[in-house]
Structure 1
């Protein structure tokens, strides 16, 4: 069930990655942006900060206002009990092993002395996928339909199950909850057989959705009843089969409880996709709106190679672009010549139109 191939869409300001599994089903997503300075696999310089035994680690002060967290215990590096924590203020090189997420700092480890060059965040992501490092990478044009659909689907709370029915996924501060809805599914066999078929399919799909959405931590699947006999073990096995076939990340799943809840604890590794792209209300962030406009501008520029085009961005997206270190106009000119321009308007979304 390893990754078969990987699609890469490179545009000004971001690179989208889509890993495809058996049957070309989307299996995992990753989003590279220049704004993510503590990306997975990045090697950064910092200084040892205060150790907080209650938090189980030591804070690392990075460049600017950034901080990271190093897991320690009893004065030693937790992953290597023979390594003492350097004294506070000592300059160290660290490597990001889990990106930051809401309320949590990026987690790091001390880089080994004489370690080779750091890998890119995308290569670090691929290394966690079964067959990901060896899978062929295919470059696709801006606005590729397959990549676009995968990212759009991963931002929706509803997931349509292959055999019918839906699963609703919602992330809260403490955990991610997944609920199953059998509406629209063909019902055959006994109640127990129908429930088992639906629960197993949902458990396997949940594995895939966690990789697509970048989810970790505690995840709970509310299974459909009744669950009888060895049904719970079969549901757990369905989750593990898909998970272990697609990733080397650690995850522990328990059979559903007497209340029908299957609990999963999985390692964090990347910032959840929705957190990277959407604000607290679920709307695109100014960064996302600006980069999506640029992505659509590039797609239009490739389709109409002789046409002069203007991208009009909403004010907040234009302000983000102006404040960023991304020289979008120069990058566009280098790729397409001086026929593309960027402006601003007072509308909610971006617009593309031929330049007069």
Structure 2
């Protein structure tokens, strides 16, 4: 079933919702002027080259200098050099943003830089709806709750995501299906650390600083049926649900899934196949590993700003 996108733009915030297979797949909110710096293009100044990291630290006007890996650089920059760079990864914890000199833009950043002194912003980063639509290949519709936003978003789609052009429409929020109440209920589900599966299993999400652990529990189901058969059923159900939950919760980095142990290798392969088919709902998932004999599976999801919990805590004060 095709995805449907809903965009709500007001003076103080932007909200973006993606509905897939009749369920909420993504929910983003961003205050005006408080968005991500990913994609922003800057004229920066090299403040230090660190040979041990094979990288340079570049001042671009943020709180911390950005890190520019030099492995794929041609001529190595020196301290004090001016460079045009683009942010490709957010800073986190004590680290600054990750930079690249491989610039992706329709704007002539070099021409803009001629009149600037580093550090300076040359091209502003995309806002919430631009980043979110830019990650999607195709959707059935893009619904806005203000008429004025329709031509703006449609023109952006024509330039940056042609497959989405012509699909932008206006519909007052009171007429949205799903309704605002449906969306709020789904967000509340995404803020709960436990997810109950229809077949009797349960997922437990435990994000920590370095990774996210997901435990698959069969609950009481194994007491009623044969263990191996029930474990396979719960594992497959969990595999189909986990990508949606990761997208909804916006959990990035390394994810370790602890499935119920399966001794039969063929059954372990069935679970992995179900997981790899299900990741299509989430364009941010970059890699899925194999299952160990202990039922552990690693996957890698691209970090994409704050988590659902962080976004909605800020949005609700």
Q: TM-score, normalised by structure 2?
A: 0.72
Contact 1:251 1:265 survives alignment (8 Å): yes
2:301 aligns with 266
1:191-219 Cα deviation digits (max 9, x unpaired): 21211111122122111122112222211
Residue 17 of structure 1: aligned partner: 16
Q: Report what 1:32 is aligned to.
A: 30
Asked if the contact 1:42/1:120 (under 8 Å) is kept, the reply is no
Cα deviation for residue 104 of structure 1 reads 4.2
Matching residue within 206, 212, 215 for 1:170: 206
SS in 1 for 2:138: coil
Q: Deviations over 1:122-159 (max 9, x none)?
A: 22222223425x74234364992233233332222112
Alignment partner for residue 40 of structure 2, among 33, 42, 52? 42
Call closer, same or farther: CA 1:7–1:115 in 2, change over 3 Å.
Answer: closer
- Which of 212, 216, 231 is matched with 1:180 structurally? 216
Q: For 2:290, which of 249, 255, 258 is the aligned residue?
A: 255
Query: Which residue in the other structure is 1:137 paired with?
Result: 143
SS at match of 1:255: strand
Shift in Å, 1:53: 4.8
Structure 1: any 5+ residue segments left out of the alignment? 78-82, 278-283, 293-316, 318-356
SS of aligned partner of 1:39: coil
**2:194 pairs with 1:203:** no
Give the 3-state SS of the residue equivalent to 2:70 in structure 1.
Answer: strand
What SS does the corresponding residue of 1:254 show, helix, strand or coil?
strand
Q: State which of 147, 153, 156 in structure 1 corresponds to 2:189.
A: 153
* Structure 2 alignment gaps of length 5 or more: 108-122, 146-171
Bigger drift between 62-71 and 114-123 goes to 114-123
Q: CA-to-partner distance for each residue in 1:87-115, whole Å, 9 max, x for gaps?
A: 33333343333333344433332353874
1:281-292 paired onto structure 2 within 5 Å = 284=313, 288=314, 291-292=315-316
User: 1:186–1:266: structure 2 CA closer, same or farther, 3 Å change rule?
Assistant: same
Query: d(CA) in 2 for partners of 1:130 and 1:238?
Result: 22
2:133 alignment partner in structure 1: 126
Report SS of the residue matched to 1:145: helix
For residues 40 and 242 of structure 1, do their structure 2 counterparts lie closer, same or farther at Cα, with a shift above 3 Å needed?
A: farther
Query: Which of 97, 108, 112 is the matching residue for 2:99?
Result: 108
Alpha-carbon RMSD:
3.1
CA distance in structure 2 between the partners assigned to 1:123 and 1:108 by the alignment: 20
Task: Classify 1:230/1:29 alpha carbon distance in 2 versus 1 (closer, same or farther; 3 Å).
Answer: same
* Aligned-residue offset at 1:12: 4.3
1:284-310 Cα distance to aligned partner (Å, 9 max, x none): 4xxx2xx42xxxxxxxxxxxxxxxxxx
| Alpha-carbon contact 2:35-2:127 (below 8 Å) kept | no
* Number of corresponding residues: 271
Q: Distance in 1 between matches of 2:297 and 2:33?
A: 36
Counterpart for residue 310 of structure 1: none
Structure 1 CA distance for aligned equivalents of residues 138 and 79 of structure 2: 40
Classify 1:65/1:105 alpha carbon distance in 2 versus 1 (closer, same or farther; 3 Å): closer
On the 8 A contact 1:61/1:67 being kept in 2, the answer is yes
Name the TM-score, length of structure 1 as normaliser: 0.65
Q: Does 1:94 align with 2:85?
A: yes
